[in-house]
């Protein structure tokens, strides 16, 4: 199977739910450690209004800190979430390498998250994505609430595929499916990704799964079975969408890497470095975080084990 790409989203999706402000220098310490752990992509933050999401108020300063300074290791990509045109302008100004933007497949979640209907949000994102591509930035688009909604319950697969098809028609083939409410089960994950991949042979899928009901890791494995190679996870299992009914953390990065290394995959990633960040975060917030391996310690993996 193709090599796995790890996209760390804890600095954005993880911190956005935390009421305790994290100082800039602390974020830089965590980012430095994550960058040197062997993670491929790191989501530094989001360009949102500082009053609505105070934790993201210093996103511009973080990107400026790493821009053209040699502080970022070669091979690491820095990404950011963009929600509107002003955010896109800010992202372009401070040198974001990968733009992440998405549309919810739930009308209720879409309106709570963006104030727009699915149709309105899709049109807006398509326009923004084209602007980003024309500016020379890489773009990944996502379908949020792709596996269910905390307000509406089941989300029709047809709705998800209709949004994904519009992305593909616009030439946007890097598509993430997000389980915003954590409702997915493995069979649903396999089916949905297979259908999205059928839209065009160029489609490259990523998955963003939440562990709200304890199925995050097994859902990652289901996605892997059908060819998904990019996984968006959060160190220490932090995170959750503030605009869903029951917010649950992301799949934990070090827990996922621990599994992968026990099966001979991602052996180049510094698991102990990730555990160190998780422990530092737990100390900073003064509480036990959702991740497991940072508390138990890892089991040594066998590098000679066959990949799944």
Position 249 scores a pLDDT of 83
Instruction: State the Cα–Cα distance between residues 43 and 16, nearest whole angstrom.
Output: 12
| Model confidence pLDDT, tens digit, residues 237-258 | 998 655 554 556 899 999 999 9
Residue 173 lies in a domain: yes
- The answer to whether position 301 is within a domain reads no
- Rounded Cα distance, 91 and 286, in Å: 32
Partners of 207 in the β-ladder: 177, 231
Contact 72, 99 (CB under 8 A): no
Determine the pLDDT at residue 308.
41
| SS3 labels along the chain | CCCCEEEECHHHHHHHHCCCCCCHHHHHHHHHHHHCCCCCEEEEEEECCCCCCHHHCCHHHHHHHHCCCCCCCCCCEEEEEECCHHHHHHHHHCCCCEEEEEEECCHHHHHHHHCCCHHHHHHHHHHHHHHHHHCCCEEEEEEECCCCECCCECCCHHHHHHHHHHHHHCCCCEEEEEECCCCCCHHHHHHHHHHHHCCCCCCEEEEEEECCCCCHHHHHHHHHHCCCCEEEEEHHHCCCCCCCCCCCCECEHHHHHHHHHHCCCCCCCCHHHHHHHHHHHHHHHCCCCCCCHHHHCCCCCCCCCCCC
- What domain count does the chain have? 1
Average pLDDT over the chain, rounded to an integer: 92
- 116 occurs within a structural domain: yes
* Structural domain boundaries, residue 188: 5-296
Tell me the pLDDT tens digit for each residue of 253-301.
999 999 999 999 999 999 999 999 999 999 999 999 999 999 999 997 5
Report, as residue numbers or ranges, the catalytic residues.
Answer: 241
> In this prediction, what percent of the chain has a pLDDT beyond 70?
94
Residues 6+ apart with CB under 8 A from 236: 10, 14, 252, 253, 254, 277, 278, 281, 282, 289, 290, 291, 294
Residue 307 has pLDDT above 70, yes or no: no
When comparing pLDDT for 300 and 117, which is higher?
117
In a domain, 304, yes or no: no
Whole-number pLDDT of residue 300: 76
What is the structure's pLDDT at 231?
A: 98
Q: Residue 190's beta-bridge partner residues?
A: none
pLDDT of residue 240: 62
pLDDT of 271 reads 97
Lowest mean per-residue pLDDT among 64-73, 192-201, 214-223: 64-73
Give me the torsion for CA of 9, 73, 77, 266, rounded to 10°: -70
pLDDT in tens, 135-146: 999 999 999 999
Q: What is the pLDDT of residue 242?
A: 53
Using alpha carbons, select from 305, 294, 227, 209 the residue that is nearest to residue 266: 305
Q: Is the pTM of this model over 0.85?
A: yes
* pLDDT value for 306: 46
What pairing do the DSSP bridges indicate for beta strands 138-144 and 174-179?
parallel
pLDDT single digits (tens) 11-70: 999 998 898 999 999 999 999 999 999 999 999 999 998 888 899 999 999 999 999 888
Residue 211 has pLDDT above 60, yes or no: yes
Residue 307 included in any domain: no
CA–CA separation, 44 and 56 (whole Å): 9
CATH (domain of 87) = 3.20.20.70
Distance CA 228, CA 21 (A): 34
d(CA 3, CA 14): 25
* pLDDT class of 1 with cuts at 50, 70, 90: low
> Which residues face 178 on adjacent strands?
208
Q: Is residue 302, in this structure, part of any structural domain at all?
A: no
pLDDT interval class at 207 (50, 70, 90): very high
pLDDT at 179 over 90: yes
Question: 308 lies in a domain?
Answer: no
Residue 305 counted as domain residue = no
């Amino acid at each position: 199977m193709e090599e796995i790409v790890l996209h760390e989203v804890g600095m954005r999706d993880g911190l956005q739910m935390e009421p305790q402000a994290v100082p800039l220098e602390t974020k830089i310490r965590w980012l430095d450690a994550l960058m040197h752990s062997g993670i491929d992509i790191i989501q530094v933050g989001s360009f949102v209004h500082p009053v609505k999401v105070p934790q993201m108020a210093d996103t511009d300063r973080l990107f400026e800190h790493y821009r053209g300074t040699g502080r970022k290791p070669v091979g690491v990509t820095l990404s950011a979430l963009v929600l509107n045109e002003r955010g896109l302008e800010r992202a372009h100004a401070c040198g974001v390498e990968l733009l992440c933007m998405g549309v919810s497949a739930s009308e209720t979640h879409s309106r709570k998250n963006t104030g727009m209907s699915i149709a309105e949000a899709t049109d807006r994102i398509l326009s923004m994505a084209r602007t980003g591509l024309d500016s020379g930035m890489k773009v990944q688009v996502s379908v949020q609430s792709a596996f269910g909604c905390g307000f509406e319950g089941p989300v029709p697969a047809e709705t998800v595929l209709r949004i994904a098809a519009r992305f593909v028609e616009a030439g946007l083939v890097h598509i993430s499916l997000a389980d915003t409410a954590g409702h997915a089960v493995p069979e649903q994950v396999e089916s949905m990704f297979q259908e999205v991949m059928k839209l065009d042979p160029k489609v490259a899928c990523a998955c963003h799964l939440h562990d709200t009901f304890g199925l995050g890791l097994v859902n990652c494995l289901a996605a892997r079975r059908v060819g998904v190679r990019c996984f968006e996870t959060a160190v220490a299992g932090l995170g959750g969408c503030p605009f869903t009914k029951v917010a649950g953390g992301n799949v934990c990065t070090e827990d996922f890497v621990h599994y992968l290394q026990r099966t001979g995959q991602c052996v180049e990633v510094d698991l102990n470095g990730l555990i160190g960040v998780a422990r530092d975060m737990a100390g900073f917030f003064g509480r036990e975080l959702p991740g497991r391996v940072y508390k138990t310690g890892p089991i040594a993996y066998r590098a000679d084990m066959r990949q799944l």
